[in-house]
A = this chain, B = another copy of it.
Amino acid sequence: MPPAAPPDRTADRIDVHTHLLPRELPRWADRFGYGGFVGLDHPTGCRARMVRDDGTVFREVDPNLWDPAERLRDMDETRVAVQVLSTVPVMFCYWTPPRDGLQVARYLNDHLADVVRRHPKRFVGLGTLPLQDPDLAIAELDRCMGDLGLCGVQIGSHVRGPGADRNLDDPALFAVFARAAQLGAAVFVHPWDMMGEADMRKYWLPWLVGMPAECSRALCSLMFGGVFTRLPKLRVCVAHGGGSFAATLGRIQHGFEARPDLCAIDNAVAPRDHVGRFWVDALVHDPRALRLIIDTFGVDRVTVGSDYPFPLGEAQPGGLVASLALDANAHGKIQMDNALHWLGIDRHLRRKEAL
């Protein structure tokens, strides 16, 4: 059999930021004996509801959240060659006892891998890990990159909950990042469990204000904690354009220079010298903000990500990028090549062939 070709470049783009759930989710509360989980309710009609086990509705959703056929139809319409699939961050479950979190992760990863396996040219997958227990997380990472044939993992902007209390600089998480670097696993950082959520419940502010801050918190933790410096092969992409990071990089750099006693305690590399070390998606909904992240992070470090199929996303993935006056080379990089590079996709496809 000849080696698999890279994804079809006559279709336009790779969408690195899309979410997938199984149509049916176990009733984890019944299985584990405590609540706090989000499930999917399917009343009559097409729409479903993501419902907390206390009965409160988290979000109404359409079948394109779980149905590959619906997704493929949308992808064809919007010229998305490949969707990178990841779970919905509310499923991270970093707050559960580790073995339970592992069980949830395995369930979601098995399903996601199955979708990828059935449509290998249109979907690539990122698993989820029980980061509240780094050893279990590494074992599941190995399984994702081995048997499941995924090309990386999605992680939260922090790992906090009753059983864990960690930002991404935490030494306990370093072994997970080291293993990801060793395996060539792409790491997608997604905001979740937003800072300040309890104090700004109105006006969707956790999503509009908290999420951008979460992205910056994650990047700052990886930088100041020395993760990028110690793992030059680690490939990280941050959702939502890296949030507030680009616009506040001057402030962060200035803070590093003004108070090294606070900022440079674990790593002497300055914030600006980390630029170029990570990717972001282009999900910023504003041409000026997109220019800022391209100018700041570099034309090789921005990818298309739409947050499909959620309402805060970009209905036409890559539409904002396409609207920008960039040369064709830059368009090709942002719509396709940078994602391939971040995902290590050629390597990934070769590895799949070798299995």
List the B residue with the shortest CB-CB distance to A223. B203
Instruction: Say whether A248 contacts B212, CB under 8 Å.
Output: yes
Let me know if A345 is at the binding interface, CB within 8 A: no
Query: Given contacts A285-B250, A285-B251, are A209 and B203 in contact (CB under 8 A)?
Result: no
Which residues of chain B are within 8 angstroms of A254 by Cβ–Cβ distance? 285, 312
List the B residue with the shortest CB-CB distance to A203. B224
Query: Given contacts A217-B205, A259-B311, A312-B255, are A247 and B250 in contact (CB under 8 A)?
Result: no
Which residues of chain B are within 8 angstroms of A244 by Cβ–Cβ distance? 209, 212-213, 216, 243-244, 247-248
Chain A 210-244 against B: per-residue CB contact (8 Å), 1 yes, 0 no? 10110011001100110000000000000010011
Instruction: Say whether A220 contacts B248, CB under 8 Å.
Output: no
Instruction: Tell me the chain A residues, 65-108 only, with Cβ under 8 Å from chain B.
Output: none
Identify the stretch in A20-28, A116-124, A192-200, A321-329 within 8 Å (CB) of chain B at 4 or more residues: A192-200
Query: Given contacts A217-B205, A224-B202, are A286 and B250 in contact (CB under 8 A)?
Result: yes
Query: Given contacts A220-B203, A285-B253, are A213 and B240 in contact (CB under 8 A)?
Result: no
Let me know if A296 is at the binding interface, CB within 8 A: yes
Let me know if A185 is at the binding interface, CB within 8 A: no
List the B residue with the shortest CB-CB distance to A262. B204
Let me know if A51 is at the binding interface, CB within 8 A: no
Let me know if A207 is at the binding interface, CB within 8 A: yes
Q: Copy number in this complex?
A: 2
Which residues of chain B are within 8 angstroms of A203 by Cβ–Cβ distance? 169, 220-221, 224-225, 262-263, 265-266
Cα distance, A210 to B284, chains bound together (Å): 20
Cα distance, A6 to B188, chains bound together (Å): 55
The contact of A195 among B196, B202, B251, B266, by CB within 8 Å, is: B196
Query: Given contacts A217-B196, A255-B204, A255-B312, are A292 and B247 in contact (CB under 8 A)?
Result: yes
Instruction: Tell me the chain A residues, 154-204 only, with Cβ under 8 Å from chain B.
Output: 158, 160, 167, 169, 195-196, 199-200, 202-204
Instruction: Say whether A196 contacts B213, CB under 8 Å.
Output: yes
Cα distance, A315 to B45, chains bound together (Å): 62
Instruction: Say whether A210 contacts B224, CB under 8 Å.
Output: no
Instruction: Say whether A220 contacts B209, CB under 8 Å.
Output: yes
Let me know if A330 is at the binding interface, CB within 8 A: no
Let me know if A270 is at the binding interface, CB within 8 A: no
Which residues of chain B are within 8 angstroms of A220 by Cβ–Cβ distance? 203, 205, 208-209
Let me know if A252 is at the binding interface, CB within 8 A: yes
Can you name 15 A-B pairs with beta carbons within 8 Å? A158-B199, A167-B199, A167-B202, A195-B199, A196-B196, A202-B224, A205-B220, A208-B220, A210-B213, A247-B248, A248-B289, A249-B289, A254-B285, A288-B296, A292-B292
Binding site for B on A (CB under 8 A): 158, 160, 167, 169, 195-196, 199-200, 202-205, 207-210, 212-213, 216-217, 220-221, 224-225, 240, 243-244, 246-255, 258-259, 262-263, 265-266, 284-286, 288-289, 292, 295-296, 311-312
